[in-house]
Amino acid sequence: MAGRARYTDDFAVPGAWYGKTVRSTIPRGTIRSITLDPAAFDWSRVVVVTADDIPGENVVQLIRDDQPALAHREIRHREEPILLLAAADRATLDQAACHVQIVYDPAEPVLDLERATETYSTIEIRKGKVLDEVEDLKNLEVVERTFRVGLQEQLYIEPQGAIAIPEANGAIRIIGSLQCPYYVHRALKRALKLTDEQAIVVQAETGGGFGGKEEYPSIVAIHAALLARKAGRPVRLIYDRHEDLAASTKRHPGVITHRTAVRPDGSLVAQDIEIELDGGAYCTLTPVVLSRAAIHAAGPYSSPNVRIRARAVATNTPPNGAFRGFGAPQSLFAAELMVEHVAERLGMSSVDLRRKWMLRVGDTTATGQKLTESVGSELVLDAALKAASTVQPSTRPTVRRGRGLSLVFHGSGFTGSGEKKLQGTIALEALVDGTFRILTASTEIGQGTKTIFCQLAADALGVGLDKVILAPQDTSLVPDSGPTVASRTAMIVGRLVQDAASEIKDRLRREPPPLRVEKTYIQPDSIHWDETTYRGDAYPVYAWACTIADVDVDTTTGEVRVTDLVTAVDCGKALHPVMAEGQIEGGSLQAVGWATIEEIKMKEGGYQNDRLATYLIPTALDAPRIRTILVENPYSRGPFGAKGIGELPMDGPAPAIIAAIHDATGVWLDEIPATPEKVLAALNGTRDTGDGKRS
């Protein structure tokens, strides 16, 4: 608040050099030669690192070992890192970069998902019968529709960056902008051939993440560490915005097709869904993104017969990765618009149809998970409808106003057995001075981890908030409580903090401080998940949201303006209502951007608009009024009943906005973002075919 918080680039490190990444300029091919011409530049002024300088394995540790830290021979995407440079000053660095000559043998790239031949993963979820095999099919209405969603950049305001500092005994300390210290720790150990103790990862204040700082910082940290190791001095590797936009991961684009069979009274009989996501050139977290997309694909509805087939493919575009919502926004966009199309076919209200279809306590999801508690579907629908005022027509002659609604759910925590495998651990210490210290690797990235953890511990200990501090997110100090992702931090790790605090309070009655208590997550026996069949309890619990969006559509320019957004969220229990609202409002606006203005145009395998002047996100002027209604519907295993809600707000706005555009203009868009070009084309298209009546 006073400018004192230190982000990565704010650390003054004496003697540090500046680092830079030299990247491929082609989407696919092989490196024929790398030349550092001694006549053109005095190379003794810089440190140069290539794949040959990697002491460990040339791999970015994640799910598959397909991504090299530096390209050795093969190039699979534009902006792929090939060579690293460090110099004492930026001018020398830039000059050196200009004189690196790389000659390629280009190959024909695969740039479209439809033309992809390599698959990262496939998933099939089955419940009951396949649509075509249900009885009495000829008496059912079958509605089919295909939807497309585009790339999106996380656009944290602080770009990626890390500082690597060589220390005694071959250790390397990383100070970085990151969400998951232990991801970086594992990646460093492997590429740099370091022991647990030699790899030290410290999270600096982090200026936003949204998934963009889940896996990508491992690459930045490895690069900085390689340079620092070779230079024998600290190296700062801070991306500028252009490099960050051009090279870092994006939200997976995809194509989703639904076939839905219903009885004439609207009863849902069967859903048949196909999902294709573009993973880009390396696997990153794609199989896990696909998993969440598939599990959410049927929407928050109860259907006796469901088949979901999902596939993630490889292309020669830069790798896509984690982004708030993690596949669910893509599949829920399609699921929610499908409700609208079925309602239109049947001549029913889509709200009534949702009431008929929605999951309630006792119902089973597509994976066969029986929902036993904290199912807020109806609560959030009622709360949002109650809060929304009536729509007034626009006074501007070319502007049409409309309203749309969506109902979504989002699994809190890791999918399936994720938490069981991870065994997230925290520690709590009671110190002799009467204070308490929480040790976790869960990071503060603006979502309130620090406040929530301290508050949970203070409440359970019965002490003031000023008596509790959070240890720095430094892998040499804190145990691995797992990554700060998947809406799991408050619900899973927060509960461990709460349990540790209760235990330490109890022990303090008998023993004097200092005391230390460690808590490891134990998956309840009642949760069953079969990874091979995709049957069972996909998530411990779900959070629910209903969003109502009002839009103005200018029929002459095609511009869509979201004017008002009401969102009712079942968060279990709001641990800190202001922060919970802040998460929901911020996530909602990110979804408004994805649905309306955030478009990435591709050119020769790269992003054409890779600058902030051309990749636009909503400003304070573009942002609608956002009203949040917190609905409390406690979950028995969450701290005080809380459920994870960090990602949920990304799910609902996009389909609500597309439904609102239809309400305003009578045309359906099947693709986002709803740019002026797409809106105008749709408006013209329906005028040509003569069915552009306002519904």
Binding residues for another protein, rule: CB under 8 A, are 1-7, 9-10, 12, 154-159, 205-210, 240-242, 445-448, 578-579, 581-582, 585-590, 611-613, 617, 619-621, 623, 625-626
The whole-angstrom separation of Cα 426 and Cα 229 is 32
Rounded to the nearest whole angstrom, what is the least distance from the CB of residue 427 to another protein in the complex?
Answer: 26
Rounded to the nearest whole angstrom, what is the least distance from the CB of residue 614 to another protein in the complex?
Answer: 9
Looking at beta carbons only, is 200 or 626 nearer to another protein? 626
The whole-angstrom separation of Cα 27 and Cα 111 is 9
The whole-angstrom separation of Cα 499 and Cα 424 is 13
Q: Which two tokens stand for residue 530?
A: 């079969």
Looking at beta carbons only, is 581 or 663 nearer to another protein? 581
Looking at beta carbons only, is 371 or 660 nearer to another protein? 660
Q: Is the dihedral of CA 29, 33, 39, 45 positive or negative?
A: positive
Q: Half-sphere exposure (CA, 13 Å, Cβ side) for 154? A: 28
Using DSSP bridges, classify how beta strands 305-314 and 268-280 pair: parallel, antiparallel or unpaired. parallel
The whole-angstrom separation of Cα 261 and Cα 563 is 34
Lookup result for tokens 């004496």: 14
Rounded to the nearest whole angstrom, what is the least distance from the CB of residue 489 to another protein in the complex?
Answer: 14
Rounded to the nearest whole angstrom, what is the least distance from the CB of residue 241 to another protein in the complex?
Answer: 4
Looking at beta carbons only, is 276 or 610 nearer to another protein? 610
Cβ atoms of residues 95 and 43 within 8 Å: no
Looking at beta carbons only, is 459 or 622 nearer to another protein? 622
Q: How many CB atoms lie within 10 A of CB 583?
A: 25
Q: How many CB atoms lie within 10 A of CB 431?
A: 14
Cβ atoms of residues 352 and 302 within 8 Å: no
Rounded to the nearest whole angstrom, what is the least distance from the CB of residue 4 to another protein in the complex?
Answer: 7
Q: In sequence order, which residues have a C-beta less than 8 Å from that of residue 239 and are 6 or more positions away?
A: 159, 160, 161, 220, 247, 248
The sheet carrying 29-36 orders its strands as 74-75, 29-36, 100-106
Looking at beta carbons only, is 1 or 39 nearer to another protein? 1
Q: Which two tokens stand for residue 449?
A: 């981890």
Looking at beta carbons only, is 103 or 621 nearer to another protein? 621
Question: Bridge partners of 30?
Answer: 74, 105
Looking at beta carbons only, is 338 or 399 nearer to another protein? 399
Rounded to the nearest whole angstrom, what is the least distance from the CB of residue 238 to another protein in the complex?
Answer: 8
Looking at beta carbons only, is 180 or 294 nearer to another protein? 180
Where do the H-state alpha helices sit in 394-491? 418-422, 449-461
The whole-angstrom separation of Cα 594 and Cα 323 is 12
* Helix orientation angle between 181-192 and 216-231, rounded to the nearest 10 degrees: 40
